[in-house]
Structure 1
């Protein structure tokens, strides 16, 4: 019998090609598109439905807009209001995307759950792990550190062994030029390419307390100038801030005072941090008294660092082998052993 697989179909190139490849590999594919923040006639949703129809596969449109707004949008705004910088994609993976896909897989008696992420999955010593994808330029493992073993035990990733350029070329080769020509989606989905500051202004309205002007101060409490609303700034920022001189930048944000605190760039270097919200493999041999590779940001130019981790009471202590600049509250810090993701947490 064919193994049944639930596939998250966004309508983009990656999930579309995942549907095609899974079907060619002999799986019984059932498509599922999550309607998170758009109308049902959104082009991506329609594209997913049309592809499912052309492949003659069952397709489900799941309207989860209310829960997405309640969970992800609220989290996104609350983090900025509290002077932190959110990772909405990481948060959505756990609370919305994989939760709904797992529920549907159990409901429809499916063996697997698939997505178009450029990662792989590995079973080792009874545990399941996310592995980096074969395309280093597109590896998305950083965003999946908080998935449970229940999810990972069912997960498969058809594109994990491929490079993005290979997937695009394969789409063209198989006669799906419309899929090969799809533009790559970038950034946070519900921002739709707009600046998050404009999104917050519409979401919170202009009279929200956090969006009111506040002081820019130095470490001695001297007022240097004023800003337009502290959620519009981030740790390490130096441009576009009144009163900030050369060599100075934002070193912290005080939401209670609606204040940006400035200091020297060197003030933001650290070689350790404690995480109170984290997930870590129970196989201690992968991290106890061993060096691990640490990523402090996702798909950008920051290469990552070597260091060690250990559990202290209810927190996870992270010790870097070198000073790391501008670790931003609210962002994910993710740990690897070679190409295997072994945990992560929120700074």
Structure 2
């Protein structure tokens, strides 16, 4: 299969067409005599349009049967090819930046067509004050601007409590409640099918993380757990890490795979509150307690 993704692999196109088909094993263990050198996934030449993030859950078998003709090309060069071929109508189309299948519709209105409204409160994370009402916590994502009626200054979604329906908001886009430096994934999907040798040997590995296809790669340290999940410790806190999104790992130009984020470490805001509490004077435990009235 040939696709238009901006990505590349460790195999040449000729290898794809010449290889023999080997049906997947139906037994628990692989046949060691049929094990072939794994195909690796690398970032495309156009780093601004690189799409390995979206391919990070691809299986080894699928990757082995895929070629990427745009691997060594930039988007600008592809547009020149299209122009020379007379595809002017394609060049005039705007690039899809959001959820392409819903078009230009408002996301909140779109999602409320399928999920029943569950109104709740916008709550200030700083002082617990109720700032307004929302139509459902599931219409909001961490880091986005919260549309709160009657508020002149912008507020941003910092956290959500799906039990109470409260959505916590902060008064700045870089509120410390939005920044974390630790996350855990579910069982990690390695494109190579096995964790890197370095990680297996030492249980830790230095690499880079991306949880959004448009964010820069962030240095991190990965720890492998016995259940196949990984803990990721970032060199510096990043904004709006969100459970349910995918943590994609890179080693140099290679995309190693990804895992769904299932747990987050404390925010910088929480850690700061903890430090402030530690600096508070201790309570006087010798103070006389007033007995409760007896009925």
- The two structures have a TM-score, normalised by structure 2, of 0.68
Q: Equivalent residue for 2:226?
A: 313
Q: Equivalent residue for 1:115?
A: 3
Deviation of the 1:290 alpha carbon: 3.1
Aligned partners of 1:169 and 1:180 also within 8 Å: no
Distance 1:247 1:189, change over 3 A: closer
Q: Equivalent residue for 1:270?
A: 180
Q: Provide the C-alpha distance between the structure 1 equivalents of 2:114 and 2:154, rounded to a whole number of angstroms.
A: 34
Q: Residue deviations 1:24-45, cap 9 Å, x none?
A: xxxxxxxxxxxxxxxxxxxxxx
Q: Residue deviations 1:252-296, cap 9 Å, x none?
A: 212222211245721232221111243124142365543111112
Distance 1:184 1:323, change over 3 A: closer
Q: Provide the C-alpha distance between the structure 2 equivalents of 1:194 and 1:276, rounded to a whole number of angstroms.
A: 32
Instruction: Work out which of the two has the higher radius of gyration on C-alpha atoms and give 1 or 2.
Output: 2
Q: Equivalent residue for 1:58?
A: none
Distance 1:185 1:323, change over 3 A: closer
Aligned partners of 1:271 and 1:320 also within 8 Å: yes
Deviation of the 1:313 alpha carbon: 3.1
Q: Equivalent residue for 1:160?
A: 71
Bigger helix fraction: 1
Aligned partners of 1:217 and 1:223 also within 8 Å: yes
Could you list the structure 1 runs, at least 4 aligned residues long, displaced by more than 6 angstroms after superposition: 243-248
RMSD: 2.8
Secondary structure of 1:335's aligned partner: strand
Q: Provide the C-alpha distance between the structure 2 equivalents of 1:145 and 1:116, rounded to a whole number of angstroms.
A: 16
Alignment map for 1:10-89 (pairs within 5 Å): none
Aligned partners of 1:216 and 1:242 also within 8 Å: no
Secondary structure of 2:256's aligned partner: strand
Secondary structure of 1:202's aligned partner: coil
Structure 1: runs of 5+ lacking an equivalent: 1-112
Q: Equivalent residue for 1:138?
A: 49
- The two structures have a TM-score, normalised by structure 1, of 0.58
Alignment map for 1:1-347 (pairs within 5 Å): 113-123=1-11, 126-204=37-115, 208=116, 211-218=117-124, 223-241=130-148, 249-262=156-169, 265-280=175-190, 281=192, 282-285=194-197, 287=199, 289-299=204-214, 302-314=215-227, 315-347=229-261
Aligned residues: 228
Secondary structure of 2:164's aligned partner: coil
Distance 1:235 1:175, change over 3 A: closer
Q: Provide the C-alpha distance between the structure 2 equivalents of 1:277 and 1:253, rounded to a whole number of angstroms.
A: 25
Aligned partners of 1:292 and 1:337 also within 8 Å: yes
Distance 1:129 1:193, change over 3 A: farther
Distance 1:248 1:336, change over 3 A: same
Aligned partners of 1:244 and 1:262 also within 8 Å: no
Deviation of the 1:156 alpha carbon: 0.4
Aligned partners of 2:57 and 2:257 also within 8 Å: yes
